[in-house]
Amino acid sequence: MDLRDQWNRLLPHAQPLGDDLLARYAEQHRHYHDQQHLTEVLETVDELAGQADDVDAVRLAAWFHDAIYDPQADPGENEELSAQLAELELAAYGVDADRVDEVGRLVRLTAKHDCEPDDANGAVLCDADLRILGMPRERYDEYAAGIREEYGHIGDREFARGRMSFLQTLAGTRLYATARGHDEWEQAARDNLGREVESLGPKAARPIGGLIPIVYFGAALGVVVAASVLLGRGLGAAPKWPADPDEISGFPVWAPIAGTAVAAGLTCAWFRRAQARLVTIPALVFAVFGLIAVGLCWWRWPAAQPGAAMSERWPYLLLASVAMVLAGALLALARRLRLAPAYAQAPPRLLSLGVTVVCGSLLAWIVVSAGEPFVQARLETANTVSTTTTAKPDQLPVQLDGTLAWSREVPATGAIAGTTGGVAELRPDGVVMSDATTGQIRWRYSRADVDDAASSGSKGLLVSGDGQTVAAHLPWAKYRSPSGIKLPTYAVLDAETGKVLTEVHTDGTALAVDANQLLVAEGNYVVAHGVSSPTHWRTQLRCNVTQGELMGDQAVVVDACGGNGAVVRGLDLKDGDQKWEVDLGIRFDLSAELEPTTWVGDLVTVPDTREISGLIWTGAAGGTLYQWSVDVGEGRILWTTPVPGTPRPRLGSSSCDAQLAATHASLVLVTCRNATDPGQPQTYDVSAASPADGTPQWHHLLEVPPKLQQPEYPRDGFGLLPDGRVVTLMPQANGSCSPVMIGTTGVQPRPILPGPTAASVAQSEEVTCNKPAVTVAGGRPIFSDGTRLFALN
């Protein structure tokens, strides 16, 4: 039955309208939307007639759905004009009003083919209109060629883009709404669409273009997994430091498992191309949830408070929230690119899966790895209080008359050290710098996450040779170490201003510092960390490094092995290459039974010379302590000399850490002898020698009561004045505690004289010798007894 007969059978009394419609479908500019297309649509409606509620309304809609067709019209305009024509003409020929309305609705529906699930008439008409997509290959190619001819006014490139966008939009949805259409024509239609999309894409870009959305999709999955790992780290951390064990829940394994499961689900949804919402909805959920979480983290971000350090919980939670936002954005971008014509061609599935896994794994690793520096920076900022000053330290003449210059109570104080900026105090949470003339605090540096820095003693506070740079040891071992976070263990500060020059994380021990480098021993490695310069090198030596000093253009270090000798080496400060070495084992009979850290003593530089001097204990003659000196310019030993008496290294409560200090004219040594009976006074040797040849200059014995016989007392409790005299705090016969001067004139107690105020007198009477520490700053001696800091003129 031809088209005219079909129309007359449908509306016998409207033959002129049928002739008009047939004429419209025969217009010259139609190459696909012609009478053949109309015939195929009507035939498909007849095949699906049993699934329609009003099959005649569907047939009328099929006649009118392309009655007006202008390829240059705006999207939806042809369908709207065709629907209006149907409503006008059918009403004029007396068709029932309800059916006229239904025909108009159905015609408009063919603009997007988005019929509702319960729209039986719409499903039949839409499937009939799209039947061409599932036709045999030859007919589909004729359809595609006809469409190209109808859009001949558009250039090839623009047509390809528009056509690919249209086809990809179709491919992202269910093509056929009826059950029969979906079962019988769906796969053939998708094969035809894929072939046409491939033919439209640039030849060179085909293997690559389709992978672009896959790359973004894989990146989105990687960020999802990374966000779950970061979330787990945040939830597993204690809310603040210090933390009790029951406050630390540990890493929740369910978090990365959940993130991986979500990523797997998204992968399944992505490769089931008909399920667009299964990708779009999670993208929106990720973005919205992430933005809300960022706001909550910002609102709940803990404020700094004394005694409580912020842990890694909040930085990790904030980072996880930002990662969720990023995952949503990447997922949405991947979905959008997939619909773009240039990337519409789907690559082979195995290749797509491989790219997804690689990109996802790479992005997960990058995000988690990049998160650690972010968390570390946030922790350092939140837990650090640092003040600076531009005012110069007060400079007043020093009389050295024993008058109390100032005195004040301090919290539990660790080591103290004299600098150009004043006296540095190692507090439990950091460093405080006080003016040596007035005692006023000039600047402070503290960290809430530091674990009792004061317990490091004098080794926890390093001062450069010129006194302008300070390095403070900041241990945090008692707190749970954040996974992957490397908090600073040393802070390098400008002594005058308090400016933070650098912060360094190391598991080793700092040996020396200046304005350019922090020299650190890490086992048998020497590491130089740049301070004001980017210099950084790491040199491996034969034995463990025990001592080190910075001298001009080189680092002088001592590495020693038990029973195998000790070597002094000069290393170039630019790259760590060795310039010279001196084997001390050739000169001395070294101990084979003791650890090198026990029998290798202090290392000091002689100001304004190229000479460095040190201590070493040997097993000869029952045990002898030697001083030695090396010319670092030539790399040779200048002299060696034994120390009088029988001083021993730290072998128990009756032994001590010898202190070696230097002025321009003297090498001053403070050490102890063996006590004959426990609880009896100990005898200390305080001596001076010439730096040039080790010739003794003076030597005195000092009786030290039992309560001062701590191993660190010689190192912490004695200070060297600029004129070469040694000062310490000692109990007196009358029960008081007063300074003692030791020098060429002997051992002289110097009682504290009252200062200019009554308060100074009262404070001077309360000085104790419980845990004395002494240093020299600004030319005046500074003392600490554990609870009080005071200075003498």
- 737 vs 183, more confident: 183
Structure tokens at 74: 């705006």
632 Cα distance to chain centroid: 41
- Residue 489, pLDDT score: 87
The 3-state DSSP composition of the chain as helix, strand, coil percent (nearest 5) reads 40, 25, 35
The better pLDDT of the pair 348, 593 is held by 348
Euclidean distance between CA atoms 618 and 648, whole angstroms: 9
Mean pLDDT of 125-135: 90
Q: Do the Cβ atoms of 429 and 448 come closer than 8 Å?
A: yes
Q: What was the pLDDT predicted at 246?
A: 65
Instruction: Please give the pLDDT value at position 243.
Output: 67
What is the rounded average pLDDT for all residues in the chain? 84
Q: Report CA torsion sign: 124, 126, 127, 131.
A: positive
Q: What angle do CA 487, 513, 414 make, to 5 degrees?
A: 65
Report d(CA 544, CA 557) in Å as an integer: 10
Q: Is the dihedral of CA 347, 348, 352, 358 positive or negative?
A: negative
Question: What residues form DSSP beta bridges with 743?
Answer: 746
Whether the CB-CB separation of 668 and 661 falls below 8 Å is answered with yes
pLDDT at residue 718 is higher than 60: yes
* CB contact set of 341 (below 8 Å; sequence gap of 6+): 160, 161, 162, 163, 164, 165, 168, 200, 201
Q: Is the pLDDT of residue 525 over 80?
A: yes
Task: Please state whether beta strands 682-689 and 667-672 pair in parallel, antiparallel, or not at all (unpaired).
Answer: antiparallel
Instruction: Output the pLDDT for position 783.
Output: 87
- Structure confidence at residue 764 (pLDDT): 45
Q: What is the residue type of 675?
A: A
pLDDT, average across residues 606-629 = 83
pLDDT for 779? 81
pLDDT over 70 percentage in the chain: 87
Per-residue pLDDT tens digits for 372-387: 888 888 888 888 888 8
pLDDT at 5 over 90: no
pLDDT at 304 over 80: no
Q: Could you read off the pLDDT of 746-758 as tens digits, one per residue? A: 888 887 776 654 3
pLDDT single digits (tens) 22-75: 899 999 999 999 999 999 999 999 999 888 899 999 999 999 999 999 998 888
Cβ 777 vs Cβ 398: under 8 Å: no
| pLDDT band, residue 305 (cuts 50/70/90) | low
Q: Can you tell me the distance from the alpha carbon of 391 to that of 429, in angstroms, rounded to the nearest whole number?
A: 24
Q: What confidence tier does 491 reach under pLDDT thresholds 50, 70, 90?
A: very high
Return d(Cα 81, Cα 108) in angstroms, integer: 9
DSSP class of residue 770 equals S
Is the predicted pLDDT of residue 204 greater than 50, yes or no? no
Q: In the beta sheet, which residues pair with residue 80?
A: none
The predicted pLDDT at position 496 comes to 93
Please calculate the CA angle 562-564-567 and round it to the nearest 5 degrees.
100
Four-CA torsion 439, 441, 444, 450, nearest 10 degrees:
60
Nearest Cα neighbor of 414 from 373, 473, 327 is: 473
- CA separation for the pair 327, 132 (Å, rounded): 39
Please report the pLDDT score of residue 758 as a whole number.
39
Q: For residues 652 and 457, what is the distance between their CA atoms, to the nearest angstrom?
A: 18
Using 50, 70 and 90 to split pLDDT, how confident is the model at 463?
very high
pLDDT band at 429 (very low <50, low <70, confident <90, very high): confident
Furthest CA-CA distance within the chain? 140
Give how far Cα 412 sits from Cα of 250, 427, 731, Å: 34, 7, 21
- pLDDT at site 469: 94
Tell whether pTM > 0.75.
no
pLDDT higher than 80, residue 205: no
Name residue 666's beta-bridge partners: none
Helices in 172-253 by DSSP H: which ranges? Answer: 179-200, 206-209, 211-236
Identify the band that residue 433 occupies on the pLDDT scale cut at 50, 70 and 90: very high
Residues in the chain: 793
Does the structure show a pLDDT above 50 at 467? yes
The Cα angle at residue 712 between residues 706 and 715, in degrees rounded to 5: 115
Structure confidence at residue 675 (pLDDT):
56
Task: Flag whether pLDDT at 760 surpasses 50.
Answer: no
Contact criterion met (CB below 8 Å) for 330 and 219: yes
Provide the pLDDT confidence category of residue 580 given band limits of 50, 70 and 90.
Answer: very high
Provide the token pair at 542. Answer: 């034969």
Strand partners for 441: 434
Q: Is 271 exposed, middle or buried (0-12, 13-18, 19+ CB in 10 A)?
A: middle
Provide the pLDDT for residue 591: 61
Report d(CA 597, CA 603) in Å as an integer: 12
Instruction: Give the C-alpha separation, 488 to 383, whole Å.
Output: 11
Q: How confident is the model at residue 555 (pLDDT cuts 50, 70, 90)?
A: very high
**Predicted local confidence at residue 560, as pLDDT:** 85
User: Is the separation of the CB atoms in 554 and 570 below 8 Å?
Assistant: yes
């301070």: which residue's tokens? 531
Give the pLDDT score at 244: 66
| 309 band by pLDDT with thresholds 50, 70 and 90 | confident
Of residues 596 and 604, which shows the higher confidence score? Answer: 604
For residue 422, what are the contacts with CB-CB under 8 A and spacing of at least 6? Answer: 393, 433, 434, 435, 436, 442, 495, 777, 778
Q: Which amino acid is at 468?
A: Q
* Residue 392: pLDDT over 90: no
Angle at CA 246, nearest 5°, toward 242 and 249?
95
pLDDT at res. 493: 95
CB 256 within 8 A of CB 221: no
Measured distance CA(500)–CA(513) in Å, rounded: 14
Q: How confident is the model over 110-124, as a mean pLDDT?
A: 88
Name 64's Cβ contacts closer than 8 Å, sequence gap at least 6.
21, 82, 83, 85, 86, 103, 107
What are the residues facing 84 on neighbouring strands?
A: none
CA 243 – CA 312 distance, rounded (Å): 12
Chain centroid to CA 656? 43
- Rounded to 5 degrees, φ, ψ at 747 are -100, 115
Kindly list the distances between the CA atom of residue 648 and the CA atoms of 567, 628, 655, 677, 711, in Å, as whole numbers in the listed order: 21, 16, 6, 16, 11
DSSP per position, 322-334:
HHHHHHHHHHHHH
Mean pLDDT (whole number) for 119-145: 90
Structure tokens at 473: 């040891």
- Cα–Cα distance measured from residue 311 to residue 234, given in angstroms and rounded to the nearest whole number: 9
Can you tell me the distance from the alpha carbon of 388 to that of 495, in angstroms, rounded to the nearest whole number?
Answer: 10
Whether the link from the prior residue into 393 is cis, omega within 30° of 0, is no
